[in-house]
Amino acid sequence: MIAALIRLFALRPLLTMAILGIPLVLLVVIGLVTVLALKFVVFIVLPVVAVIWLLRTFLRRGDDATS
């Protein structure tokens, strides 16, 4: 059975690419999108949230000290 599949894939390279290539390309694309999403969260979202949190914290302390 395995030998027949190998022979089939050797004789029909486009079928081989369709069966084996598309899932591999899909996995690579999913991996790249995941990495880009994580980079976006770590380098853009977290610094913005940290700056907003720090500003709100310092402004709230300044309001408490004056009142």
What pTM did the predictor assign?
Answer: 0.60
Task: Yes or no: say if 24 and 30 are a contact pair by the CB < 8 Å rule.
Answer: no
Predicted confidence at residue 56, as pLDDT, reads 94
CA distance 41 to 36: 9
Predicted confidence at residue 64, as pLDDT, reads 65
CA 49, 53, 56, 58 torsion-angle sign: negative
Q: In which residue ranges of the chain is pLDDT below 50?
A: none
Per-domain boundaries in the chain: 2-66
